[in-house]
Amino acid sequence: MDQLSQFNSGISILEMSYIIASILFILGLKMLSHPLTARRGNTLAAIGMGLAVIATILFHHKDGKPIGNVGFILFAIGIGSIIGWVIAKRVKMTAMPQLVSFFNGMGGAAAALISMMEFQHVSPELIAKSGMANGHVLAILLGLMIGTISWAGSMIAFGKLDGRIGDLRIKAMKYVNLTILAILIGFIVYIMTRHVQSSSELTYLIYIMFVIAAIYGVLFVMPIGGADMPVVISLLNSFTGVAAAMGGFLYNNQIMLTGGILVGSAGTILTILMCRAMNRSLLNVIIGVFGGGGKTNVEATGSVKEISISDAAVLLSYSKKVVIVPGYGLAVAQAQHICHELDKLLEEKGVEVKYAIHPVAGRMPGHMNVLLAEADVPYEQLIESEEINPDLPNTDVLVVIGANDVVNPAAEDDPSSPIYGMPIIKARDAKNIIVMKRGMGKGYAAIENMLFYNDKTRMLFGDAKSTLQNLVNEVKSL
């Protein structure tokens, strides 16, 4: 009786711990939506995860028995925590998109491995009762397929973001991807309709399915490049969340289910918002047929005009309103702190300074927000592109630092352009435009930017960090 009472007490403590952890997850996710509360939100979510893990180890029982191999579990958690801590501490801000892809891929791999292991242990009693066509088997197969796609796709995304893997563009790629996706669904239907005594009889099909899903994950991401990459990262994050939710179904674990649903739904919503920001179809994302890069029918005309550091400093210092458009080049140069120093100097001179933030600037969703938050730029200065565009005609100087595709007029003017239809920051509407670039290289979408040839545009060539430092020194001397 005492043992039964203790068992029931353990279950109630476990459930209460899961409820508290779920609340912490939701609060943390909510706080992540604002830079001022993001760090606290991340901490709350981490506390919730820690609570869920500890409660599961201490109080989770199956058939009246506690979890075994606790020593191995704690050892694995310890090793993983140390590796994750070291990687996160050493990573540069410019490599943050790669880190997100890598960590997300590890989550997908974990979900896929869980499914591969659990398939061999499907209860014979369950098979005898309902055959392979049951929710438990379906959760395993979906977890395997989605987790593997997320893992393989994230690894390719990591390589592409890190410059180690190029784009693979084949006209028939969408048909290839659709065919592979149909084959994967066919495997699921075939396995669930087989009449067997034990699931181990079909284990070889699981390994084949794993290989096919990995191939799809690779081919799904390989054609994608350019400014489309943030959408892919967001979609892969949602895949990992869904795969984790499948694990929650398998183990009847409410916290895995809750966490997976939160990640999956948040990633899906963000993906839709990213697609809307880039005028892309979500269906095209899933079958992997879009991507930056490609030819355009518009030829560069006009001449490129340069501006000196001293002239740029005078123009900025005697303006009333300045808008800065940050891009990946700013992150590469690690120039966000000097950029913030410049905007503070200009504000001391009575200049109103704002930052125009495009939703997909950089290489991951919110990349510029994270970059500027690191430099302690007040959140009130960060204005979304659709909000700041109407005010650009009244802007004296717009400064583009390392951005390209998100200010490219081809998105509005050239139907043949791969970025046509993508909402952009309408930089050409400003009274004066200063573009900071190393050279006349094309952006990640690999197309010409006619903004550089605009009569109102002046090019300020050089590394963003050194150029901004020289500009700061010049503004101070005025």
Per-residue pLDDT tens for 224-238? 765 567 788 888 999
Does residue 102 fall inside a structural domain? yes
Which residues constitute the domain of residue 316?
Answer: 309-477
> Mind giving me the DSSP string for 84-137?
HHHHHHH--GGGHHHHHHHHHHHHHHHHHHHHHHHHTT--HHHHHHHTT-SHHH
The verdict on residue 293 lying in a domain is no
Does 298 fall in a domain? no
pLDDT score for 1: 45
One domain, residues 22 and 126: yes
Question: pLDDT > 70: what percent of the chain?
Answer: 89
Task: Provide the CATH number for the domain around residue 429.
Answer: 3.40.50.1220
Predicted confidence at residue 67, as pLDDT, reads: 82
Q: Is the pLDDT of residue 144 over 90?
A: yes
Does residue 297 carry a pLDDT above 70?
A: no
The predicted pLDDT at position 310 comes to: 94
Same domain for 380 and 415, yes or no, is: yes
Please indicate, yes or no, if residue 294 is contained in any of the structural domains: no
What are 85-140's pLDDT values in tens digits?
999 888 876 677 888 889 999 999 999 999 999 998 888 888 888 888 889 999 99
- Which of 457 and 365 is assigned the larger pLDDT? 457
**Same structural domain, 226 and 374:** no
283 and 315 in one domain? no
Count of domains observed in the chain: 2
Same domain, 345 and 214: no
DSSP bridge partners of 65: 62
For residue range 109-122, what is the model confidence (pLDDT) as tens digits? 999 999 999 998 88
Which of these three, 257, 287, 317, is where a domain ends? 287
Alpha helices in 193-327 (DSSP H): 203-221, 229-251, 254-278, 282-287, 309-317
Query: Is 143:114 a contact under the CB 8 Å cutoff?
Result: yes
387 shares a domain with 259: no
Q: Can you tell me the mean pLDDT for 33-53?
A: 88
pLDDT computed for residue 408 by the predictor: 87
Say which range, 59-63, 132-136, 145-149, 399-403, has the weakest mean pLDDT: 59-63
Mean pLDDT, to the nearest integer, of 27-38? 83
Measured on CA atoms in the order 469, 470, 473, 478, is the torsion positive or negative?
negative
- The answer on 321 and 283 residing in a single domain is no
pLDDT of residue 445: 55
Question: Is residue 297 one of the residues assigned to a domain?
Answer: no
- At residue 11, the pLDDT reads 54
pLDDT at 291 over 50: no
What is the reported pLDDT for 388?
A: 94
pLDDT band at 422 (very low <50, low <70, confident <90, very high): confident
pLDDT of residue 10: 47
**How many Cα atoms occupy the beta-carbon half-sphere of 359 within 13 Å?**
18
**Do 282 and 333 have their domain in common?**
no
**Burial group, residue 92, by CB count within 10 angstroms (0-12, 13-18, 19+):** exposed
Mean pLDDT of 263-276: 85
CB neighbourhood size of 417 (10 A): 23
pLDDT reported for residue 285: 63
Please check whether residues 35 and 91 belong to one and the same domain: yes
169 and 34 share one domain: yes
pLDDT at residue 34 is higher than 90: no
469 pLDDT band, cuts 50/70/90, is very high
Which of 115-129, 140-154, 239-253 holds the top average pLDDT? Answer: 140-154
Q: Which residue has the tokens 């893992």?
A: 151
Q: What is the pLDDT, as a whole number, of residue 423?
A: 84
Q: Is residue 373 part of a domain?
A: yes
Mean pLDDT of 154-178: 81
The catalytically annotated residue of 311, 405, 455, 463 is: 405
Where is average pLDDT lowest: 105-114, 318-327, 435-444? Answer: 435-444
**First and final C-alpha spacing in the chain:** 85
Residue 295, domain member (yes or no) = no
pTM over 0.85: no
Task: Give yes or no for residue 8 having a pLDDT over 60.
Answer: no
Q: What is the mean pLDDT of residues 449-475?
A: 90
The residue-averaged pLDDT of 163-172 equals 73
DSSP SS3 for 401: strand
Q: Residue 292 pLDDT more than 50?
A: no
405 is catalytic: yes
Q: Is the pLDDT of residue 150 over 90?
A: yes
382 and 263 co-located in one domain:
no
Look at residue 74 and tell me if it is in a domain.
yes
Same domain? 280 vs 333: no
